[in-house]
Amino acid sequence: MPYDPDNVFARILRGEIPSDRVYEDDEFVAFRDIAPQAPTHIVVIPRGVPPTSPAGLRDEDAGWLGRMLVRASRIAAGAGLDADGYRLVMNCGVHGGQSVAHLHLHILGGRQLDRLG
């Protein structure tokens, strides 16, 4: 699927749609989800034109993707989630629950989450 430069996350990155940003640097922006699935629900998105989903990742993406995971862990700690735990989620495709075709990562926490599997 080709990247749509008018997707909601691209528009957030350009400042066309307001967001409650909790972190940003040269590579990533993190903001509170507008439809939270947990008391703390933060979305982390890469700047630029990333793959539309995890299915589009390539070997050369390992560096920035690893940094994205490290940033997400630091953001979770900054939100006070590290003591009790949190979940990092990356959805892939319609059946995986992905609603925006811009690779992104969810940080969920603040309560006991249901077990997976």
Residue 43 CA to residue 116 CA, distance in Å, equals 20
Catalytic residue list: 104
- 117 is a domain residue: no
- 2 is a domain residue: no
User: What does pTM read for this prediction?
Assistant: 0.94
Q: Torsion angle, CA of 104/71/43/17, rounded to 10 degrees?
A: -90
Domain that holds residue 82: 8-109
- 116 is a domain residue: no
pLDDT of residue 46: 97
pLDDT of residue 2: 79
- 74 is a domain residue: yes
Q: Which residues of the chain are under the pLDDT cut of 70?
A: 1
pLDDT of residue 116: 85
The CATH number assigned to the domain holding 25 equals 3.30.428.10
